[in-house]
């Protein structure tokens, strides 16, 4: 498989980068991260009106642009770089992904255009208090009632779950266990019996919520009892997309740390002229470039329908987890005392690196997943 | 004095304490007695509240204080460094004015060395002190100043001659923190705490008699302060623990400690809380995961061998043998330990590592570890500086060619004026 | 527990170091390592005649000096530093250790004086082809026959097993398994039915042998069926002693690499003046000092009868394994191309580090043992 | 020439090959035809055996050679570097004498750059060349010389002026290896192999017409050779694989490759044999150990992402886009991979890691890995040098103040004469 970016893709990237540099400076991130929602409708609308980013990977049949993961991951990489505060990942990767992987034609027709246009902000509620990212750990139950179902139980660590208009919920039929009896459902964010609470997050730019379902009316998404496979697929896609978002942040940290080292003087010379700094920067470049390659390759593997994609996705996420965190640690260190202050921006990415490290499972978790695919 | 023996000293101090120690005295009242007696700082000269006791006999005195539970002179905060520095370099007037009130704890101090442009490079200070009329006028900015907001006096390093080389153009002052020219602002950190201050000096005034040593001797005096700071770093824990006994003196000491320790309340988290690793491993079940067991074991190997290395160094010192290299390594290894602990706490917390405050494990303690640990490898000399020190001072490896110590400081490329 | 070396111990160490510098230069190691035996009787005799090193930890009652592990480990550290080629570890740590831990009073009287005097070179044959260092893995069987026993099976990785005069063998009663039914036996090196073959070792200064037992007549050592505990104790002692030998080698590598960096000129300056070299040397110093502390502490723990000694021994061995190997890797790197040549001495310690890394179990193995003691 | 199109070139070369390729020809005979035809080095100038074909069209030619299985000009060993260097800097006489015989493989070459005192620092060469009468007389020692023992000619870097600065006092020569003044000794390595030689030059002679470029231009010419060496490093694998087809030409090529590759037979072990990790893991059962699985996975993450990084770089090149930083990282990451693989092979081998040769796993292959890997981070530029290069050339970070490039070389502190 050949993978690299076409001239069109590179131009798309640079336009996007310019847009985000103007519209989403860290000043803006600092403002939004102090709000409970973490984002604002107006900014979100602008984002989609002007660049149609929510539509990127949604097929044209459902009002999208029908691009692949290659383009979608460029968007995510640039957003990770800019530390954009928006419900983009939850809406386009998780919710839209679940709908694309599990939904019926009619449901896609009904749900995706709203997402493509940016009118619908959506979330995927799958993980619960146990913090396990596998479908088998689901305890929230869906009981048939009349035409639909009623959901009872809880979800947690739901990305943008407290602000989403539409929530895709992973639930199981009463009395089932493991990967059997799992189904997806859709619930409006303001459904009766649904209580949503924003969680206090270490990374204030990545909002999470805990949802309580008390006999909440829900519509089945896709085939009843058949959600295990599409959920796994959605998690694979999420790992790849997050890996790309992460390498965007890691590269930004690396570049900022380098720029700081170039201008910071100590002992009468720029600290960039000290060999230990040069070697550290070289090591950072190596790590970030490796993680970028893995993330890019994984996106290409999704587009190519590579049979190995699950393993490759886990490889990319494991690589990005270690690299982003390590790069963030170096970046704070290179900035010295300044880097530990609130007013310096480094900690914003440091915290994003930390939340990304464990979101959808940490490096060890994904290394083990990878081995299950390759060592078998 | 040399005719002192362990027995004679022990008898003498014990007798004095039994006659004078009274937990119901006011803290300052008691410490004034102590200062007069010479038992507060027995290793100090007789001329200045001491007994010129040899270092070897100090532990005896400490033991007797602990035995009876008597409170010592004020040790918390920068005041100890101030007292030691003034004792070494100060004029009689300065000793007269500051030593006793530092020992009694009536005066509190802060250290005005670091600047935004000179973090690792303290001698690169660009805060300017000029003699106008018969007063020193100070302009500049200092950072990383602990407790500046309730300090009475500051130990100030400032540049008085820009034509001299970097280390030669500095002078050392005692500055009154209660004056209009001194503005103190809290400095917020990535973990949300504000343990340090920024101090803005705008035409701040220093009386000529508060110059310590001579103009241009600033660096020599500063190294004295820093040397005592390094020594003191280890004992920080010891004086941070107040007694829980009843009594007015104890109450007042507890209050004093509370104020001084306030900025340090996240320091245990900064060090990585290795003590929580096994409990958390049991709580989260990580203890049964062979992969986590290896990571935990690696950390325990590191922290135990570091602990034993420190003990080797202490034992050598106690036996009066020259301290080996093991003495200089503690700071560097503490960074490794803190980072490894933070990594483990993250892995054990899993998805919960994304949370903070009440929503997160141990009501935020774990979260605070993760956002505090990065300070360990920076504060008090970065890991890089520590490695330079170990290589040059312990291993005697050649220094790098200097880019800034020979020419006039005004010609040295520096931040802002590169 | 307080631990540090007394003035007497320091003097003992410096005398020993002087002796080994004179008598065991690497020229000598290079000569002996090319021989199959790996050592020579004369040098061995001198060693013991002049310094009585084999007697150090053997109680006076059995013709020894009755020192503790503190002194014994000083000897091992200096031998590891000098890369002495002699059957010292096999004889005094393993064989004598097993005899002290398992033997009856009469057997100690009979066997230890010869070891103390240096006349008897002894070995411990416990591990087999499976390379497992635990007694439970023993398959070699001991069948009662008349007054004694007959041994059938094999042993491998036997330190100096092909040259030892006396071999202590771990065997099990037929039909037993696990740690039950294990007993120690003694066999003369030239026993009938015993075939000894020197193995080709990567570390030519550490000789190993494979032993075939064909119905070999053997004398019981200690109590029948009760060898499990004394063997475990012997392995704990071996781990501590090896850790001390290893830190001796690691420190020598570190010092030689530093000396080389100080005199080697590149780009018109000593390479020791390059910051990356300075930082590497600082890191090496840190690692070696930590490993020394662990090794010293473990020796003190043995002398103090610390209840935790098994865990501490594993900690020290794990620490020494990682540190010695890492130091050796750095040492070769610092010497550059020269360090990769046969004529440069660095590789002698590199290979010793490698063999020490896995002897008695590698770092992961000992970390796991440590956790079994501490995490329980 | 620009009017060449992919189609026209393909047709032309195919026609020529179909008319001329014959595996039963002698290798030299065939290569002489090839040289005459211009298809051997089509990117070379027409004046010298080439067709001035643009780089983009070379793959087309290669494809046609592969399609029909035709053998190309001699690429194995140093001769390619010699040819490229002489083509760039040589006199017509030198081109006349050396180019054809290098392309046909009749002449074999070695590179005489590195010296005991200048490993990382090639420009620090102290081998001395002096013009006596009308001959250059060379004295000094060279090391790390591959295949010097069967080389006909050497590419020699020597110092001709000690009063000039380091890089200015060097000259570049072609030296006849078959002369009494040249002694070649094998250099044994820690893994027991002797892939390199030491070459002692004692009043060795060089004809004046074998000076390449001018006196003092030695460093410029050397960089040309080194640049081609770096480029060639990747393709080493490609030309190392002979065809297994029958035919005289193939037989002779196989023999040529065998000789050239002999010193490199342990190189796969030097790289850590990542390909053996999973097979060995299954064989030893390590595959079922969760701790080992993590370590294996870490290595696979590293090697896969490195492989994909190299592929990114290639793709960019093929698309004619500027190569990003990813291009310069391969050498450095290969050291990490080799070390990690060696660690894993040790852990998987367990006690057997203490053995070597027939007694050890895979008849010594694993053991050879463990004692060969250390060369990866040294040979062809140490990891430290690689990091300097990445920092300075890719990240544009400032060079260190130079200690040796400005003053006359005789005043530069160096080994022996520090």
> Which tens digits make up the pLDDT trace of D164-176?
999 999 999 999 9
pLDDT of residue D418: 42
- Measured CB to CB, residues of chain C less than 8 Å from chain A are 274-276, 279
- The arithmetic mean of pLDDT across residues D75-91, rounded, is 92
pLDDT of residue B418: 42
Answer whether residue D240 shows pLDDT above 70: no
Token pair belonging to D7: 């189609």
Answer whether residue D2 shows pLDDT above 70: no
How far is C159 from chain D, CA to nearest CA, in Å?
11
Q: Are C187 and C151 contacting, i.e. CB atoms less than 8 angstroms apart?
A: yes
Of A202, A265, A357, the CB nearest to B418: A265
Of B347, B404, B412, the CB nearest to A362: B347
Phi and psi torsions of D258, nearest 5°: -55, -45
Q: Pick from D156, D198, D204, D152: which is nearest to D180 by CA?
A: D204
* Cβ pair D329:A258 closer than 8 A: no
Answer whether residue C94 shows pLDDT above 90: yes
Q: Are D170 and D213 contacting, i.e. CB atoms less than 8 angstroms apart?
A: no
All residue ranges of chain A with pLDDT < 70 are: 1-2, 376
Q: Are D16 and D37 contacting, i.e. CB atoms less than 8 angstroms apart?
A: yes
Q: Are D166 and D409 contacting, i.e. CB atoms less than 8 angstroms apart?
A: yes
Answer whether residue D232 shows pLDDT above 70: no
D99-146 pLDDT, tens digit each: 999 999 999 999 999 999 887 789 999 999 999 999 999 999 999 998
* Cβ pair C278:B386 closer than 8 A: no
Which chains have 3 or more CB–CB distances shorter than 8 Å to chain D? A, B, C
Average per-residue pLDDT in chain B? 92
Of B356, B379, B387, the CB nearest to A200: B356
The CB density around residue D282, as the number of other CB atoms within 10 Å, is: 12
- The arithmetic mean of pLDDT across residues D205-222, rounded, is 96
pLDDT of residue D89: 97
* CA gap C3, C70 in Å, rounded: 9
How far is B38 from chain C, CA to nearest CA, in Å?
33
D140-152 pLDDT, tens digit each: 999 999 888 989 9
Q: Closest residue of C to B317, CA-based?
A: C4
DSSP structure class, residue B400: P
* Cβ pair D354:C359 closer than 8 A: yes
C148-170 pLDDT, tens digit each: 999 999 999 999 999 999 999 99
* DSSP-assigned states of every residue in A105-116: HHHHHHHHHHHH
Which chains have 3 or more CB–CB distances shorter than 8 Å to chain A? B, C, D
* Cβ pair A273:D316 closer than 8 A: no
CA count, 13 A, side-chain hemisphere, C349: 34
Q: Is B290 on the interface with D (CB under 8 A)?
A: yes
Contacts of C275 in chain A (CB under 8 A): 274-276
Phi and psi torsions of D91, nearest 5°: -80, 165
How far is C36 from chain D, CA to nearest CA, in Å?
14
To the nearest 10°, the Cα dihedral for B276, B281, B283, B289? Answer: 180
Q: Classify strands D153-159 and D109-112 as parallel, antiparallel or unpaired.
A: parallel
- Burial of residue D205 (CB within 10 Å: 0-12, 13-18, 19+) is middle
Q: Are D152 and D194 contacting, i.e. CB atoms less than 8 angstroms apart?
A: no
Q: Classify strands B109-112 and B153-159 as parallel, antiparallel or unpaired.
A: parallel
How far is C276 from chain A, CA to nearest CA, in Å?
5
Answer whether residue C146 shows pLDDT above 70: yes
Size of interface A-B (CB pairs under 8 A): 138
Phi and psi torsions of C138, nearest 5°: -65, 135
pLDDT of residue B327: 65
3-class secondary structure, D223: helix
How far is B400 from chain D, CA to nearest CA, in Å?
10
* Cβ pair C267:D377 closer than 8 A: no
DSSP structure class, residue D115: B
Interface of A with B in 281-320 (CB under 8 A): none
pLDDT of residue B1: 42
Q: Closest residue of D to B401, CA-based?
A: D401
For the question of an ipTM over 0.85, the answer is: yes
- The arithmetic mean of pLDDT across residues C323-342, rounded, is 97
* Cβ pair C370:B312 closer than 8 A: no
Residue B158 binned pLDDT confidence (cut-offs 50, 70, 90): very high
Answer whether residue D239 shows pLDDT above 60: no
Element (H, E) at A229: helix A228-263
Answer whether residue D20 shows pLDDT above 80: yes
* CA gap D119, C337 in Å, rounded: 7
- Label residue A193 left, alpha or beta by phi (over 0 means left) and psi (-120 to 50 means alpha): left
pLDDT of residue C47: 86
Q: Closest residue of B to C274, CA-based?
A: B400
How far is C375 from chain D, CA to nearest CA, in Å?
17
How far is A275 from chain C, CA to nearest CA, in Å?
6
Handedness of CA A172, A173, A175, A176 (dihedral sign): negative
Average the pLDDT over each of C230-234, C286-290, D54-58, D252-256 and give the range with the smallest value: D54-58
Size of interface C-D (CB pairs under 8 A): 138
Interface of A with D in 313-352 (CB under 8 A): 315, 318-319
- The arithmetic mean of pLDDT across residues B164-173, rounded, is 96
Answer whether residue D225 shows pLDDT above 70: yes
Which chains have 3 or more CB–CB distances shorter than 8 Å to chain C? A, B, D
Encode D16-64 in three state secondary structure.
HHHHHCCCCCCHHHHHHHHHHHCCCCCCCCHHHCCCCCCHHHHHHHHHH
Interface of C with B in 203-242 (CB under 8 A): none
* Cβ pair A319:D294 closer than 8 A: no
pLDDT of residue C364: 97
Q: Is B19 on the interface with D (CB under 8 A)?
A: no
* CA gap B346, B340 in Å, rounded: 10
B305-359 pLDDT, tens digit each: 999 999 988 887 777 776 667 667 999 999 999 999 999 999 999 999 999 999 9
C18 Cβ neighbours under 8 A, 6+ residues apart: none
* CA gap B166, B404 in Å, rounded: 7
How far is D359 from chain B, CA to nearest CA, in Å?
31
Of D119, D400, D412, the CB nearest to C336: D119
CA distances from D386 to A118, A296, C261, D174, D225 (A): 48, 25, 19, 29, 18
Q: Are C195 and C215 contacting, i.e. CB atoms less than 8 angstroms apart?
A: no
Exposure b/e, C196-220, CB count within 10 A at least 16 = b: bebbebbbbbbbbbbbebeebbbeb
How far is D388 from chain A, CA to nearest CA, in Å?
7
Of D367, D404, D405, the CB nearest to C202: D367
Residue that has been written with the tokens 């504000």 in this structure = B194
Q: Pick from C67, C71, C57: which is nearest to C5 by CA?
A: C71
Total residue length of chain A: 376
* CA gap A363, A115 in Å, rounded: 31
pLDDT of residue C4: 79
* Cβ pair B371:A266 closer than 8 A: no
Average per-residue pLDDT in chain C? 96
Of C273, C286, C294, the CB nearest to B304: C294
């Amino acid at each position: 498989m050949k993978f690299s970016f076409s001239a069109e893709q590179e131009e798309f990237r640079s336009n996007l980068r310019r847009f985000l540099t103007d519209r989403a400076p860290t000043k803006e991130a600092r403002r939004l991260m102090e709000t409970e929602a973490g984002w604002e409708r107006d900014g979100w609308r602008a984002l989609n009106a002007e660049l149609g980013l929510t539509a990127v990977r949604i097929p044209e049949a459902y009002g999208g642009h029908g691009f692949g993961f290659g383009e979608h991951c460029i968007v995510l990489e640039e957003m990770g770089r800019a530390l954009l505060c928006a419900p983009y990942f939850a809406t386009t990767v998780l919710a839209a992904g679940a709908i694309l992987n599990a939904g019926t034609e009619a449901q896609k027709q009904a749900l995706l255009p709203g997402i493509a246009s940016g009118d619908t902000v959506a979330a995927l509620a799958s993980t619960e208090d146990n913090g396990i990212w596998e479908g088998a750990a689901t305890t929230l139950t869906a009981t048939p009632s009349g035409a639909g179902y009623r959901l009872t139980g809880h979800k947690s660590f739901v990305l943008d779950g407290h602000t989403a208009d539409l929530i895709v919920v992973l639930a199981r039929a009463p009395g089932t266990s493991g990967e059997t009896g799992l189904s997806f459902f859709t619930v409006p964010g303001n459904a009766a019996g649904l209580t949503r609470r924003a969680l206090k997050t270490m990374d204030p730019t990545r909002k999470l919520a805990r949802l309580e379902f008390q006999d909440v009316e829900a519509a089945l998404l896709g085939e009843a009892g058949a959600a295990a496979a599409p959920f796994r697929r959605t998690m694979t896609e999420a790992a790849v997309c997050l890996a790309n978002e992460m390498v965007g942040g890691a590269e930004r940290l690396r570049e900022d740390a380098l720029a700081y080292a170039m201008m910071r003087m100590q002992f009468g010379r720029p600290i960039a002229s000290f060999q230990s700094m040069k070697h550290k920067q070289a090591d950072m470049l190596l790590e970030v470039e490796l993680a970028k390659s893995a993330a890019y390759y994984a996106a290409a593997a999704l587009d190519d329908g590579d049979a190995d994609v699950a393993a490759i996705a886990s490889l990319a996420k494991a690589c990005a987890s270690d690299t982003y965190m390590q790069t963030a640690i170096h970046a704070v260190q290179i900035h010295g005392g300044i880097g530990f202050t609130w007013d310096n921006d480094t900690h914003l990415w440091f915290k994003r690196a930390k939340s990304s490290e464990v979101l959808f499972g940490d490096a060890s978790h994904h290394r083990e997943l990878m081995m299950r695919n390759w060592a078998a | 004095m040399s005719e002192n023996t362990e027995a004679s000293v022990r008898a003498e101090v014990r007798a004095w304490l039994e006659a004078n120690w009274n937990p119901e005295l006011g803290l300052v009242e008691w410490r004034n007695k102590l200062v007069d007696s010479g038992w507060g700082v027995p290793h100090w000269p007789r001329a200045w509240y001491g007994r010129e006791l040899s270092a070897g006999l100090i532990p005896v005195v400490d033991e007797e204080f602990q035995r009876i539970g008597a409170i010592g002179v004020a040790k918390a905060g920068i005041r100890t460094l101030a007292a030691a520095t003034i004792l070494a370099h100060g004029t009689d007037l300065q000793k007269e004015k500051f030593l006793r009130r530092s020992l009694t704890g009536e005066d509190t101090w802060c250290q005005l060395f670091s600047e935004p442009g000179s973090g690792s490079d303290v001698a690169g200070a660009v805060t300017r002190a000029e003699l106008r009329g018969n007063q020193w006028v100070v302009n500049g900015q200092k950072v990383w100043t602990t407790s500046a907001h309730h300090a009475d006096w500051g130990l100030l390093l400032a540049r008085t001659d820009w034509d001299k080389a970097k280390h030669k153009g500095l002078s050392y002052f005692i500055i009154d923190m209660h004056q209009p020219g001194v503005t103190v602002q809290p400095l917020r950190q990535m973990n949300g705490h504000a343990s340090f201050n920024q101090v803005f000096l705008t035409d701040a005034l220093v009386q000529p008699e508060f110059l310590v040593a001579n103009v241009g001797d600033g660096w020599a005096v500063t190294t004295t302060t820093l040397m005592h700071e390094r020594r003191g770093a280890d004992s920080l824990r010891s004086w941070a623990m107040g007694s829980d006994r009843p009594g007015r003196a104890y109450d007042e000491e507890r209050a004093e400690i509370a104020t001084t320790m306030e900025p340090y309340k996240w320091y245990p988290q900064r060090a990585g809380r290795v003590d929580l690793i096994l409990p958390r491993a049991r709580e989260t079940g990580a203890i049964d995961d062979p992969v986590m067991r290896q990571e935990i074991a690696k950390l325990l190997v590191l922290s135990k061998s570091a602990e034993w290395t420190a003990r080797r160094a202490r034992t050598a010192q106690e036996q009066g043998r020259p301290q080996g290299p093991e003495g200089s390594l503690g700071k560097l290894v503490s960074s490794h330990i803190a980072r490894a602990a933070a990594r483990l706490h993250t892995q054990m917390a899993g998805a919960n590592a994304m949370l903070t405050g009440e929503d997160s494990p141990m009501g935020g303690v774990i979260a605070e570890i993760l956002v505090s640990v990065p300070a360990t490898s920076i504060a008090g000399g970065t890991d890089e500086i520590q490695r330079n020190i170990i290589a040059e001072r312990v291993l005697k490896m050649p220094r790098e060619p200097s880019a800034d110590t020979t020419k006039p400081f005004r010609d040295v490329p520096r931040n802002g004026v590169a």
